[in-house]
Structure 1
Amino acid sequence: MPDPSTPGPEARLNNPLGVIRIDPDHPAPQTIHRAAALIQNQGVVVFPTQCLYGLAADARDSSAIQKIFHIKHRPETNPLLILIHSPKDLEELVTHIPDAAQRLMQAFWPGGLTLIFEAAPRVSDLLTAGTGKIGVRIPSHPVARALVKAAGRPITGTSANRSGAPGCSRIKNLPQDLIRAADLVLDAGPLRGGTGSTILDVTCDPPRIIRQGRIPFDSIRQVLAS
């Protein structure tokens, strides 16, 4: 049976902008590997997260990161969060993992909690915007998880939108010039929408909430108090 996430010739003919449908629960490996190969070669991929579509690029490659800023019209004074596949990936990205962060990671990763750490020296200043801090999350969406695993490196996890504009939960709502600027668009259909991840700074004690999102702060407080 043909894989529904891989378009046939007719779909490709009517779809010149590199938009591929992908099963949100069981993404086709060949589609994921195609997207991962683009990321490994300075490409930019639109991909689904739990609530909104995001822009993925190699978080180790300054040229790829600059493409994200250009596509989003985002000032380089605004940092970018990154997605990883495993907590072990933090070792190359951060200088220290506080005990509070360990507990929060156990409770909420993979999921909608971004933790801000002190960035390791090798992390690009483009990601940190010169703050010396980096936001990191393990995504829970099957496509996002498969993509970061196949890429074999951290990827950017910023929303697929113009800077300052609302995030998009449907591909049809993305600006056409953003779609054209991306090397590939993975269309998993309508997403949940709503708020993005909760962002918590764990470089201070007690940790400081930066943005209330999918994880209620009361739930975070309970974990920190345990």
Structure 2
Amino acid sequence: MARIMRVDASDPRGEAIDEAVQVLKEGGVVVFPTTGLYGLAAKASDPQAVAEVFRIKGRPDDKPLLILVNSIDQVKPLVREIPESGRLLMEKLWPGGMTLVFYASGLLPPSLLGGKKKIGIRMAAHPVARALVKGLGEPITGTSANLSGEPGAGDFGQLTQAVLDRTPLALDAGKLAGGAGSTVVDVTEDPPLILRQGAAPKAEIFNALKTVSQ
């Protein structure tokens, strides 16, 4: 069962973050707050940690996980290439509510990709998520902390007990801000393809891409 530690979402420092980072370094999974929903963090480069996320959620093996980074430099080794459209969107709209889909390089565990060739990447906007990625020094998984097929939790009190029972540490930031999930944009397509409309408006994305064709 998870050890529950309170965390200040506006100023995530101290024992809770330090302990969460240590759990991640050791291959464990941590429940953590994002802007809209609580998520499950694991070291994205660790196949066993990734497998544990799938086990906790009861997630089908063919459903990939997105990952969270805290810089554009962290993206570069994880993908085959960064198209001009991807570069512009990262520079203009990250961090925020936009996940970009790239062709994955060979550095990521195949299980993370769900047997596919692409990976969804977002720059963490929530201070706790950013602190975890910074403390670990590498990307983490960003999937929601729920059983597969069930709704996500925007309040710590809404988390499914089964998830907490399978997780060693949970960071409690209370009720989250909520809002739409991220807009998912596939930048392997030309022009980029919006796979899911979410927090980042289409107009904002199209405006950021204007210079690609100029």
Specify the TM-score bucket, using the shorter chain as the normaliser: over 0.9
2:129 paired with 1:144: yes
Task: Say whether 1:180 aligns with 2:165.
Answer: yes
SS of equivalent residue, structure 1 residue 96: coil
Which stretches of structure 1, 4 residues or longer, exceed 2 Å deviation after superposition?
none
Q: Residue 168 of structure 1 contacts residue 193 of structure 1 at CA under 8 Å; is this kept in 2?
A: no
Alignment of 1:186-201 (within 5 A): 186-201=171-186
Aligned partner of 1:28 in structure 2 is 13
Match of 1:69 in 2: 54
State the 1:194 CA deviation: 3.0
Counterpart residue number, 1:124: 109
Give the 5 Å matches for 1:1-226: 17-226=2-211
The two structures have a TM-score, normalised by structure 2, of 0.95
Matched residue type, 1:203:
T
3-state DSSP class of the match of 1:169? coil
Q: Which has the larger radius of gyration?
A: 1
How many equivalent residue pairs?
A: 211
CA deviation after TM superposition for structure 1 residue 207, in Å: 0.5
RMSD of the TM alignment (CA)? 1.1
* Unmatched runs of 5 consecutive residues or more in structure 2: none
SS in 1 for 2:121: strand
Unaligned runs of 5+ in 1: 1-15
Q: In 2, Cα distance between the equivalents of 1:28 and 1:222?
A: 36
Q: 1:99 to 1:43 in 2, by over 3 A?
A: same
CA distance in 2, matches of 1:37, 1:132: 30
* In structure 2, C-alpha distance between the alignment counterparts of 1:189 and 1:140, rounded to whole Å: 17
Deviation at 1:200, TM superposition (A): 0.6
Query: SS of the counterpart of 1:117?
Result: strand
Residues in 1 aligned to 2:2 and 2:145: alpha-carbon distance in whole angstroms: 16
% identical equivalent positions: 47
